[in-house]
Chain A
Amino acid sequence: MSARHSLRLATLAASLLFAVGVHADTVLLNASYDVARDLYKDFNPAFQKAWQAKTGEKVEIKQSHGGSSKQVRAVADGLEADVVTMNQATDVDFLADKGLVAKDYHKKFPTNASPYTSTMVFIVRKGNPKAIKDWSDLIKSGVQVIVPHPKNTGNGRYTYLAAWGYALKQPGGNDKSAQDFVGKLLKNAPLFGTGGRDATTTFMQRRLGDVLVTFESEAELIAKEFGRGDFEVVYPSVSILTEFPVAVVDKVVDKKGTRKQAQAYLEYLWSKEGQEIIAENYLRPRDAEVLKKHAAQFPAIKTFTVDETFGGWGKAFKAHFVDGGSFDQIYSVK
């Protein structure tokens, strides 16, 4: 039958096309957090070019984005990601506990395996009508603070720890005074966003609240989305340094034989070009030179790390965000 004949031809043609279309020697999968989309859209082609120039090999990079803990659960359940690029150490720690990445993953790359940093800043309405300058202004009565859920979202957890750390650093500050302070701040929150972007939408589009606490890198995205004339960025006296750990997933690269490429891919984040792309995406580069070049965009701000102030993410998590931790206590003492 001619029909069958043409069907066979079509199948052949399709498979040929497919074979031509997928012409990469190696395919890497990068499992990443939600808002890293734009960064890797810029970074991946740069790496591909550099890698091909160096080795002659074509690498294809696939991205998978989602809530960071959802992503690591997927990797733990068998999503074959060669590398993970996350926004909280806890997520990579989870994979380390499962034996998927090295226990000392943060030593495998420079600067604590975090190729860039950011910090928590305030977004206020144009003209700063409530005169918000520092964390202490967020607990005043009549100030509405918009934050994502402090217990369930990375963005919210950083905000929580930043406020806690600020209170600790006040004269006579201790855990009790810090808990009081954070409790007062959360009382000024009319709602908890489901994530960073949801909080942004609530603040900018629905015009709720007087101040939004979010990553410094979000401010620029807000400007792109909603225009510059509508808000101001306020840098508090001190804030938390947010790190974004990356790791090679040993189990996957050993199985696929992609260790060399995966390692090079992550290392390239620390290259001059990688750091430049990072700065262009409003994340603070680790490279001093690149940082200096973009100094206008990254005002100096005093920061503390989770490791210094809380003894690492593991400890911070247990103290504050597990059931019965300090967050739950704030809400059980009514």
Chain B
Amino acid sequence: MSRSPSRSVLPGFGLSLGYTLVYLSLLVLIPLAGLLVKSASLSLADIWAIATGPRALASFRVTFGASFAAACINAFFGLIVAWVLVRYDFWGKRFIDALVDLPFALPTAVAGITLATLYAETGVIGEWFAKAGVKIAYTPLGIVVALTFIGLPFVVRTLQPVLEDIEPEVEEAAASLGASRWQTFRRVLFPAIFPALLTGFTLAFSRAVGEYGSVIFIAGNMPLISEITPLLIISKLEQYDFVGATALASVMLVISFVMLLAINVLQWWASNRHRSGTAKAAPQGGAQ
């Protein structure tokens, strides 16, 4: 926000900021700091060695790659699902709307076992793909399937309220000014929903990066091919190598944080750009 808080219309900024900081510290910052402290008993060279081992590198590729792919799929199809749920009325809409939340409610292990059974070469869905020569379960593709499943609600739920806010009149206005369907979408609708889409994408992506339960049952867990980083962390715990596990977790945390920060910057830039056309002339308050 470009407003300075000192001139904000709403009172209680100091109190609410203090509360926010305390709350975030207790819930997020202190546990994460604990993680970093625990891995601090290692030198940077040790951590570097752990993080750049062949299996670790391969697992980063698998984890972040599959998460990114799954988030992209979710962004695309989630947009369509949200659009249909907001714009059209049809029989069974409420039911489908409730279905979207199911991946949130299902225990991840249940999701993983179910997906593995469906997508195995002998499974209901897997056998069709097997005929076409595509293996899904126990390959990196299976990981993408699991991560897509658990990430879907994020995109749909972040987009729905934004789409509801866009009145159909806007589209009608665009059409009456001679815009094609595609132009209306690209020039009018998409800029308005892009920040929310990015938020949904980010949520789906970051959730996928840390996902363990639903993935390990379908991944196959082959070293260098389909091992996810959380599995390597568990593997280190199984060797009673707590420090190594926290080191790997810290590296993962840093990578995730940098990515989230980058996406947030992109988002901020996108929403500013979108707004700059309409609200550029907002008076700048506050003494510098």
Contact = CB atoms under 8 A, between A and B. Distances in A.
Given A207-B122, A208-B120, A194 B54 contact: no
Nearest to B50: A323
B220 to A, nearest CB: 4
Interface in A279-334: 317, 321-323, 328, 331-332, 334
B239 A322 contact: yes
Q: Which of B122, B239, B241 has the most CB of A within 10 A?
A: B239
A141 interface: no
A206 B244 contact: no
A52 interface: no
Contact of A328 (B55, B117, B231): B55
A152 B238 contact: yes
B113 interface: yes
A152 B212 CA distance: 15
B180 to A, nearest CB: 49
A259 interface: no
Given A192-B221, A331-B224, A334-B224, A94 B240 contact: yes
B224 A194 contact: no
B239 A323 contact: yes
Interface in A142-162: 149, 151-153
A206 B120 contact: yes
A297 B31 CA distance: 52
B240 A69 contact: yes
Nearest to A192: B221
A153 B237 CA distance: 11
B239 A192 contact: no
B211 interface: no
A194 B217 contact: yes
A331 B223 contact: yes
A198 interface: yes
B236 interface: yes
Nearest to B123: A206
Contact of B239 (A149, A191, A321): A321
Interface residues of B, number: 31
Given A206-B117, A207-B122, A152 B234 contact: yes
Contact of A198 (B53, B217, B240, B244): B217
Nearest to B216: A194
Contacts of A323: 53, 236, 239, 241, 244
Contact of B220 (A69, A73, A190, A205): A190
Given A94-B240, A321-B239, A192 B54 contact: no
B99 to A, nearest CB: 25
Contacts of A332: 54-55
B238 A69 contact: yes
Interface residues of A, number: 28
Contacts of A205: 117
Contact of A152 (B123, B235, B244): B235
B14 to A, nearest CB: 39
Given A205-B117, A331-B55, A332-B54, A69 B237 contact: yes
B220 A192 contact: yes
A191 B241 contact: no
A323 B53 CA distance: 10
Contacts of B122: 206-208
Contacts of B222: 189, 191-192
Which of the listed residues B121, B122, B237, B240 has the most CB atoms from chain A within 10 Å of its own CB?
Answer: B240
A305 to B, nearest CB: 22
B138 interface: yes
Contacts of A206: 116-117, 120-123, 137
A201 interface: yes
A10 B154 CA distance: 44
A208 B121 contact: yes
B174 to A, nearest CB: 51
A185 B141 CA distance: 24
Contacts of B224: 331, 334
Given A194-B216, A321-B239, 13 more contacts: A153-B238, A189-B222, A191-B138, A191-B219, A191-B221, A192-B220, A194-B221, A206-B120, A208-B121, A323-B53, A323-B241, A328-B55, A331-B55
26 contacts: A69-B237, A69-B240, A73-B237, A94-B240, A149-B221, A149-B235, A151-B235, A152-B238, A190-B138, A190-B220, A191-B219, A191-B221, A194-B221, A201-B113, A202-B116, A206-B116, A206-B117, A206-B123, A206-B137, A207-B122, A208-B138, A317-B239, A323-B236, A328-B55, A328-B223, A331-B55
Sort A-B residue pairs by CB-CB distance and give the 10 closest, nearest first: A191-B220, A331-B223, A191-B138, A206-B120, A192-B221, A207-B122, A194-B216, A152-B238, A152-B235, A69-B238
Interface of A: 69, 73, 94, 149, 151-153, 189-194, 198, 201-202, 205-208, 317, 321-323, 328, 331-332, 334
